[in-house]
Amino acid sequence: MITFIGAVALLIIGFFTYGKFVEKVFQPKEHRATPAYTKHDGVDYLPMHKNKNALIQLISIAGVGPIFGPIMGALYGPPAFIWIVVGCIFAGGVHDYLTGMISIRNNGAHLPELAGKFLGKAMKHVVNAFSILLLLLVGTVFVASPADLLYDLSNGAVPVIIFIVLIFIYYLLATILPINKIIGTIYPYLGALLLFSTVGIGFALIWNQAPIPELSFTNTHPAGAAIFPLLFLTISCGALSGFHATQSPIISRTTKNETQGRSIFYGMMIAEGIIAMIWAAAAMSLFDGPVTLSELINTIGTGGIVNEISTMMLGPIFGTFAVLGVIVLPITSGDTAFRSARMIIADYIRVPQKKIMSRIWIAAPIFIVSIILTNMDFTLLWRYFNWANQSTAMIALWIGAMYLFIGGRNYWIAVVPAVFMTMTVTTYIINAPIGLNMPMNISLIISAVVTLFITLLFFNAARKRRSEKTPLESDISSWSKEQYAYSK
């Protein structure tokens, strides 16, 4: 219990200390106009209140990642706690804050645009394809999984296909309508539901003195799976996730003032870390008896474990609300995944999105492909998701490092986690059966060489771009006093 409470406390302290330090390094400009005003179109670019933006950011980046991932990560035991705390404060928070703030400085640009500007034009095309594939996978899976959960909740009274059709209709509307019409209206309430249910489970763990294991570096995984690199791909949301880099630019286009960035981007990463910590602790404590967590995952799945934890900790009524909160999580990540895909494609082919028909003709092919995918067995493709997700995080961290290096600031806050994730994803794809399937000792040697090469390549490119004085931000003048007062 001491480890659990201490870990949550460290996450909160991290927001007020290291989060403040990261903000100081970035140097937000209080009087600089944000894209919500300079590119206002009433669709994707429009100012929204800080608290609303924060809750939308939380519910967008959360999905089922900070719940299902930590439950699976709980198989490793207390090392999962360490990764959530260290990863969230020094990697995930930095990743989300830099991605969101650099996007704000560059007219709300998405990751491919930022990659092209700071890592080279070739990277723009690579990251664009990477991002679209990642978002399509997320969106499609988050049609099927909530439909199955709703089917179970209705005891089979409503066919799954009905739920799939309804979810697709909702996704289409959320993708093409102005952000304040659906997402900006319902997300804050869903975010509040998520926080309420998760905090309730956290207090129940403390109140019931649940047998949460204390700090240990012992790997308890029943299959003997190695902590490195597998743990760092298993627990992504809640520690560090590249999916967040595709979501933060949505809110960078609705943020009223740069000074709100730490609360919105870094703060919501910390909140997600606390959510992950609570679910990991619950999984470790409640199912370490005659029936182990591993056996339960194999028999009732992670969704069944969520239901067990919710009803055991909160009772049948509040537990049902918690389960409903979990059901809406994939839906609220699926819709923003499709919305991000539409925005990225529109930016890539330079099509303004103010007219609804411009949004429809870009969104339509995305949904057609997704519908096709729902009728296919793309299990093999999905097996690459964790690797693709963390590879995206790696790229986003290198972008942040380049931005800080060119600006003559403390780039190490991004370089260190970028190097670590480069080593992690490289080791995984070389060692894993879905990759090169090479022995771990050889994989570590090769990935170390690759990581060193990429790091040297980065510093060489960074020095060149600094000498060329690559612009860090779009050319926007400061607000008038009246505009600045409104932005606050």
**Residue 317: count of CB within 10 angstroms of its CB:** 8
CB 342, CB 366: distance < 8 Å: yes
3-state secondary structure of 478: strand
Contact status, residue 98 vs residue 266, Cβ threshold 8 Å:
no
Alpha-carbon separation of residue 402 from 19, 76, 119, 216, 425 (angstroms) = 19, 34, 8, 36, 20
What was the pLDDT predicted at 391? 94
Non-local CB neighbours of 323 within 8 Å, separated by 6+ positions: 153, 306, 307, 310, 311
Amino acid at 54: A
Which residue from 16, 8, 32, 7 is spatially nearest to 475, judged by alpha carbons?
Answer: 32
pLDDT of 215-248, one tens digit each?
888 888 888 888 999 999 999 888 999 999 999 9
pLDDT tens digits, 370-399: 888 877 766 666 678 889 899 999 999 999
Query: Which pLDDT does position 330 carry in this prediction?
Result: 79
Strand partners, 278: none
Separation of alpha carbons 267 and 262, rounded Å:
6
Sorted by sequence, the CB contacts under 8 Å of residue 303 that are 6+ apart come out as 68, 149, 326
What is the pLDDT at residue 118?
94
Q: What is the pLDDT of residues 422-443, one digit of tens each?
A: 999 999 999 999 899 999 999 9
CATH class of 2-389: mainly alpha
Closest CA to 322 of 337, 311, 332: 311
Closest C-alpha to 341, from 23, 21, 44: 44
pLDDT in the model for residue 303: 66
Residues ≥6 apart with Cβ < 8 Å to 8: 202, 274, 277, 278
Q: Are 89 and 377 in contact (CB under 8 A)?
A: no
Type of residue numbered 198: T
Residue at token pair 């943020």? 255
Token pair in block for residue 61:
């980046």
309 Cβ partners below 8 Å, 6+ apart? 201, 279, 282, 283, 286
CA-angle at 149, arms to 148 and 155, nearest 5°: 90
User: Is it true that the peptide bond before 229 is cis, omega within 30 degrees of 0?
Assistant: yes
**Cis peptide, bond prior to residue 35, ω within 30 of zero:** no
How many CB atoms within 10 Å of residue 483?
12
- pLDDT tens digit at each of 488 positions of the chain: 899 999 999 999 999 999 999 999 999 999 899 999 999 999 999 999 999 999 999 988 886 667 888 888 888 989 999 999 999 999 999 999 999 999 999 999 999 999 999 999 899 998 998 899 889 888 888 887 778 777 777 778 888 889 989 999 999 999 999 999 998 888 888 878 778 888 888 888 888 888 888 888 888 888 888 899 999 999 988 899 999 999 999 999 999 999 999 999 999 999 999 999 998 998 888 765 555 677 777 776 676 777 777 777 777 777 777 777 777 777 888 899 999 999 999 999 999 999 999 999 999 999 999 888 877 766 666 678 889 899 999 999 999 999 999 999 999 999 999 999 999 999 999 999 989 999 999 999 999 999 999 999 999 999 999 998 888 887 665 555 445 555 55
Q: Do residues 395 and 344 lie in contact, with contact meaning Cβ atoms separated by under 8 Å?
A: no
Q: What's the pLDDT score for residue 278?
A: 93
Helix and strand tally (H, E) in the chain?
22, 0
Residue 227: enclosing H or E segment and its boundaries? Answer: helix 227-234
Task: Compute CA distances 123 → 38, 50, 197, 204, 254, whole Å.
Answer: 27, 32, 41, 47, 26
DSSP code at position 90? I
- Tell me how crowded residue 219 is: count the other CB atoms within 10 A of its CB: 15
pLDDT score recorded for residue 386: 86
Q: What CA dihedral angle connects 136, 139, 142 and 144, to 10 degrees?
A: -60
Q: What pLDDT score does 475 carry?
A: 67
- Show the tokens assigned to 294: 């591993």
CB of 57 within 8 A of CB of 265?
yes
Round to whole Å and give the CA distance between 242 and 397.
Answer: 9
Write out pLDDT tens, residues 92-150: 999 999 999 999 999 999 999 999 999 998 999 989 988 998 898 888 888 877 787 77
- By the 10 Å C-beta count (0-12 exposed, 13-18 middle, 19+ buried), 157 is classed as exposed
* CB of 326 closer than 8 Å to CB of 67: yes
Q: What angle separates helix 79-87 from helix 2-16, to the nearest 10 degrees?
A: 10
Angle of helix 50-62 relative to helix 243-252, nearest 10 degrees, comes to 160
